[in-house]
Structure 1
Amino acid sequence: MTASLSSPKPKLGISACLLGAEVRFNGGHKESRLCSRTLSDYFDFVPFCPEVAIGMGIPREPIRLVGAPETPRAVGSVRPELDVTAPLAAYGEKVAGETDDLCGYIFMQQSPSCGLERVKVYQEGGRPSEHKGRGIFAQAFCARRPDLPVEEDGRLNDPILRENFITRVFAYAEWQQLLRAGLTRKALLDFHARHKYLLMATDPLQYKALGQLLGNLTQHDLNELAPRYFSALMAALKKCATRRTHSNVLQHLSGYFKQALSSEEKQEMQQLISQYRHGVVPLVVPLTLLKHHLRRNPHSYVAQQVYLQPHPENLSLRNAL
């Protein structure tokens, strides 16, 4: 139901150690089976190890962050005079500038080079700061690619965060397809129409705001408005949908079939939505019934909604929501 699912696999950047590459400071790895054995069927991974890339070698002296949590430096844990802050930051900017084809990035958690958040920053005397920092490479990379979906490997063990990240990756991939095909007002409006209920589920306020923004499309320069629209969309999709917002979307979508369903079918649909909202059944249950009614009662506008299948069904990401 979304064009991106039948296209070539989206490319994801990833910390090389998560794919089993023995590139860590001690010559080991941190293989993530989720990445190497499950997600690899749906994504083409592009591995990076910034510490190796800047010439630190394997094995090597481990580094750590020191100083102010907002602007830490990466130094050797044995030899503090070994300062690799600038090379790691420069490599982050270089990778960000040379990988326009990436649709997301999975970083190694708590790494002084790759950690996205909660990385220890040490103060004088060797005590960690109360406030955590961000890995130097990750910080530089993300500053150059603020719209790109990024996540840490550990957080992907949470089913809600995993589903949210992969949803954003496929939305990002579809936007890149749109740009390659040629940006037009119609293409932008069609893209928004397909993603409306996905947006309603994650950020109802932005759903209204972006609708209003595109309502005045003819008054704006398309090449200026489109990037602004997409940045706002990606920020909105980063919010995790809740049972309440999912239920609201399910109610809206089931409303398209009110003329076609019998009173018993309507009652069944409402019962399942209520059970989902109260945590009795997972999202996939009312969604499956909704798709059943869509197959029996085709509706072109509902059929094009990315919300119904924002990622490959075989990933079963909504079974635990």
Structure 2
Amino acid sequence: MATDNITSTNRPVLGIGACLAGREVRYNGQTKAPNIHVKRIGKIFEMRPFCPEMAAGLGVPRPPIHLVGDENTVRVVDVETHQHDHTDAIAGHAREVLDMAPELAGYVLVKASPSCGYERVKRFNQKGNIVAHDQQGIFARALAEADPLLPLEDDGRLNDPGLRESFVTRALVYHQWKQLRAEGLTAARLIDFYSRHKYLVMAHHVPSYKQLGPLLADAGNKDLEALAETFIATLMNALTQRASRRSHSNVLFHLSGYLKKKISAEERQRLKELIDQYRLGHIPLVVPVTMLKHHFANNPNAYIDQQVFLEPYPDELQLRNVV
């Protein structure tokens, strides 16, 4: 399965706001307690802490900063005087982070931070009055621009089960993609990568699923680098789409089709009932998936065994346990 090779010494790497990692780097010299979901994710990933404000030389403690300007042109300045502009230094740290840690598979940002907030960060006018909650933090925006494929979420958004599942899935897939690129890209490896992620893509975005198969047709006769760039952008974008009960059920029924001649009519009916109960919201996804894995353990299928959908992340994250 997809996560079988994750060990305590070989974990995918996530960047994380240093304050969430227990460092006393906030403007007031304090840290920020991570929520239970960040803690749980930290058991699966290696968490690499960064603080763009410290990197910009602001020190601890320091005068607080906030975002000032119109909707499309904001700067990060000190709250008291608006005379000290730290925009370029904080934004520039994004490129430094990616250069220092090219293995990053995702980044956990800090809710509401003018440097690290993912969304809805406060924007002020020159008089210091709040005019909107419509910004990304300066560092967060620069990180997204420097690597558009890098999965980003902040600690607040990770409270949402759907966003949390999407983030973890994308981070693990991006880690696998970086491993593939490090091993050396070939047309065969690219096709194999998609074959393993095929049903995961179907669960998140059927249009992308229908697009990627034809895209890889005759891959050996195409510009491989250009093909790979289009492929991974399409796949990662597909995984940003929230998987639904309906789409997951569709994949579960597809996979159960491989058992049609392998299990009894009674077992097929019971599996169908479990998938329907999940689709209707009566049981969590882990129940029909566990039943499918049980049947495939008794009736091995090499193609199905490699499908990331059946185990896209370690069970201990409990992402499929929510009703």
Q: So what's the TM-score if we normalise by structure 2?
A: 0.95
Cα distance change of structure 1 residues 265 and 4 upon mapping to structure 2, 3 Å threshold:
closer
Q: Which runs of 4+ in 1 moved over 4 A?
A: none
Give how far 1:49 is off: 0.8
1:72 is matched with 74
Cα distance change of structure 1 residues 3 and 181 upon mapping to structure 2, 3 Å threshold:
farther
Cα distance change of structure 1 residues 3 and 154 upon mapping to structure 2, 3 Å threshold:
closer
Q: Is the 8 A contact 1:70 1:133 kept in 2?
A: no
Written as runs of structure 1 = structure 2, the 5 A alignment for 1:261-300 is 261-300=263-302
Written as runs of structure 1 = structure 2, the 5 A alignment for 1:164-203 is 164-203=166-205
Q: Is the 8 A contact 2:37 2:158 kept in 1?
A: no
1:96 is matched with 98
* d(CA) in 2 for partners of 1:134, 1:287: 37
Give how far 1:279 is off: 0.3
* d(CA) in 2 for partners of 1:30, 1:6: 28
Cα distance change of structure 1 residues 18 and 35 upon mapping to structure 2, 3 Å threshold:
farther
Q: Is the 8 A contact 1:4 1:173 kept in 2?
A: no
Amino acid in structure 1 at the alignment position of 2:33:
E
Amino acid in structure 2 at the alignment position of 1:14:
I
Q: Is the 8 A contact 1:69 1:131 kept in 2?
A: no
Give how far 1:208 is off: 0.5
Equivalent residue of 1:104, what SS? Answer: strand
Equivalent residue of 1:120, what SS? Answer: strand
Q: Is the 8 A contact 2:38 2:158 kept in 1?
A: no
Q: Is the 8 A contact 1:19 1:32 kept in 2?
A: yes
Equivalent residue of 2:16, what SS? Answer: strand
Q: Is the 8 A contact 1:18 1:35 kept in 2?
A: no
> Does 2:27 match 1:25?
yes
Equivalent residue of 1:32, what SS? Answer: coil
Written as runs of structure 1 = structure 2, the 5 A alignment for 1:205-224 is 205-224=207-226
2:14 is matched with 12
Instruction: Kindly indicate which of the two structures has a greater share of residues assigned to helix.
Output: 1
Give how far 1:35 is off: 6.2
Q: Is the 8 A contact 1:5 1:311 kept in 2?
A: no
* d(CA) in 2 for partners of 1:246, 1:225: 28
1:123 is matched with 125
Choose which of 140, 143, 161 in structure 2 pairs with 1:141. Answer: 143
Give how far 1:4 is off: 6.7
* d(CA) in 1 for partners of 2:274, 2:17: 41
Cα distance change of structure 1 residues 121 and 32 upon mapping to structure 2, 3 Å threshold:
same
Give how far 1:36 is off: 6.4
Superposition RMSD on alpha carbons, in Å? 1.5
Instruction: Provide, for residues 231-256 of structure 1, a one-character-per-residue CA deviation record: whole Å limited to 9, x for no partner.
Output: 11111111110000000000000000
Give how far 1:52 is off: 1.1
Amino acid in structure 2 at the alignment position of 1:137:
F
* d(CA) in 1 for partners of 2:73, 2:94: 15
Q: Is the 8 A contact 1:121 1:133 kept in 2?
A: yes
* d(CA) in 2 for partners of 1:4, 1:97: 29
Q: So what's the TM-score if we normalise by structure 1?
A: 0.96
Equivalent residue of 1:129, what SS? Answer: strand
Give how far 1:274 is off: 0.6
Instruction: Provide, for residues 83-129 of structure 1, a one-character-per-residue CA deviation record: whole Å limited to 9, x for no partner.
Output: 11111112222223332111110000110011111011112433323
Equivalent residue of 1:51, what SS? Answer: helix
Cα distance change of structure 1 residues 5 and 169 upon mapping to structure 2, 3 Å threshold:
farther
Give how far 1:33 is off: 4.1
Choose which of 151, 154, 157 in structure 1 pairs with 2:156. Answer: 154
Give how far 1:131 is off: 5.3
Instruction: Provide, for residues 259-299 of structure 1, a one-character-per-residue CA deviation record: whole Å limited to 9, x for no partner.
Output: 11211111111111111001000000111111111011111
Equivalent residue of 1:59, what SS? Answer: coil
Give how far 1:22 is off: 1.0
* d(CA) in 1 for partners of 2:113, 2:5: 32
User: What is the aligned-residue identity percentage?
Assistant: 47
Unmatched segments (≥5 aa) in structure 2: none
Equivalent residue of 1:121, what SS? Answer: strand
Equivalent residue of 1:41, what SS? Answer: coil
Choose which of 256, 259, 262 in structure 2 pairs with 1:260. Answer: 262
Q: Is the 8 A contact 1:69 1:129 kept in 2?
A: no
Q: Is the 8 A contact 1:22 1:29 kept in 2?
A: yes
Amino acid in structure 1 at the alignment position of 2:148:
P
Q: Is the 8 A contact 2:25 2:60 kept in 1?
A: yes
